């Protein structure tokens, strides 16, 4: 079946009649969930089932931002409070072996919770490498300020998700760690030369270049393209993300609604696709905005379709797993 080159959010705990009509006609490639869409496990499962039935694709991916720490849409009492990534980086400084195991187990536990609901893609791990003085929008969402450690732990996180039947979405390529502003509110500008990015920011992304999905950063890298954010820069996507970082999977932009981007939502979507993003992401669930985005989003085709189809082939039946044993082992590893 055909699908459009877009991932949409929705407005509430269940799809409205208007959303069902839009999704039925627009056939978005995927759906992304937020806290407003989550109440309890049965409700989430019903929402996901409704979406997939509506678009007519039982393999349609459903995404969520479940990093752990302050970025977690699923919260207690129904779901575990997972630690932020920085916890594993701190453990790595003491014992790399324990940190690798703990990071894998944490991601495997996350995957177990997600697959139980029907969620098949997690917008994680964060592979950004923070630098001194950068905005705290990343902060403890990053594993470490050492790119080699970020790469090592990022690999374990991805492995844990994949073993549990969940696709990782590595982010925010080519790196959000130097940003001095929150791209939700403004366009960050980074002056770092490509040679320096190659030696630091790109290291984790290069290590994860074969992963199925990645999300761009809404950041202008002025030494490479002085005018446009990465999500809208053909130069940056093709030269840095595809060539220098070597990323081969399906590329989705960060949320079109963020203030770092200029123009109407339709213009933002068109610019992202023309620059080389395979998919655009629109998160608000506002009907008028989704209708506007759909006026410019095409049906997936060509290389973009091939990459999206290839991403779904990474999904596997979860490996045998004892959640209680894994949680106990993780708690032991993270003991002070």
Residue 71: CB partners within 8 Å, gap ≥ 6? 65, 141
SS3 label, residue 43: helix
Catalytic one of 184, 238, 319, 322: 184
Please say if 254 is a catalytic residue. Answer: yes
**28-33 and 220-221 strand pairing:** unpaired
Residue 1: CB partners within 8 Å, gap ≥ 6? 27, 55, 56, 57
Q: Which residues pair with 7 in a beta bridge?
A: 30, 281
User: Cα(316)–Cα(322) distance, rounded to whole angstroms?
Assistant: 17
SS3 label, residue 51: helix
H or E segment and range at residue 296: none
Catalytic one of 122, 140, 254, 278: 254
User: Cα(261)–Cα(114) distance, rounded to whole angstroms?
Assistant: 31
User: Cα(171)–Cα(253) distance, rounded to whole angstroms?
Assistant: 10
Please say if 176 is a catalytic residue. Answer: no
Mind telling me the catalytic residues? Answer: 184, 254
């Amino acid at each position: 079946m055909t699908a459009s080159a877009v991932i949409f959010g929705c407005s509430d705990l269940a799809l409205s009649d208007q959303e069902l009509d839009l999704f039925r006609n627009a056939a978005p490639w995927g759906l992304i969930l937020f806290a407003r869409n989550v109440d309890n496990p049965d409700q989430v499962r019903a929402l996901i089932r409704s979406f997939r039935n509506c678009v007519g694709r039982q393999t349609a991916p459903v995404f969520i931002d479940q990093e752990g720490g302050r970025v977690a849409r699923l919260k207690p009492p129904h779901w575990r409070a997972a630690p932020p990534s920085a916890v594993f980086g701190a453990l790595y400084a003491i014992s790399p072996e324990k940190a690798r195991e703990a990071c894998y187990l944490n991601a495997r536990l996350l995957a177990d919770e997600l697959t139980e609901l029907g969620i098949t893609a997690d917008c994680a791990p964060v592979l950004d490498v923070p630098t001194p003085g950068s905005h705290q929008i990343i902060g403890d969402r990053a594993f470490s300020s050492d790119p080699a450690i970020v790469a090592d732990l990022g690999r374990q996180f991805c492995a844990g998700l994949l073993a549990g039947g969940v696709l990782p979405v590595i982010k925010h390529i080519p790196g959000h760690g130097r940003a001095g502003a929150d791209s939700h509110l403004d366009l960050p500008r980074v002056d770092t030369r490509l040679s320096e990015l190659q030696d630091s920011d790109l290291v984790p992304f290069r290590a994860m270049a074969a992963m199925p999905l990645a999300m761009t950063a809404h950041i202008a890298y002025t030494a490479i393209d002085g005018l446009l954010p990465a999500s809208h820069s053909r130069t940056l996507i093709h030269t840095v993300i595809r060539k220098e970082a070597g990323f081969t999977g399906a590329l989705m932009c960060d949320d079109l609604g963020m203030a770092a981007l200029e123009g109407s939502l339709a213009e933002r979507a068109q610019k992202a696709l023309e620059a080389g993003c395979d998919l655009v992401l629109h998160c608000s669930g506002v009907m008028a905005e989704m209708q506007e985005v759909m006026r410019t989003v095409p049906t997936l085709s060509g290389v973009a379709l091939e990459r999206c189809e290839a991403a779904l082939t990474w999904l596997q039946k979860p490996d045998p797993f004892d959640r209680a044993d894994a949680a106990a082992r993780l708690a032991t590893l993270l003991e002070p």
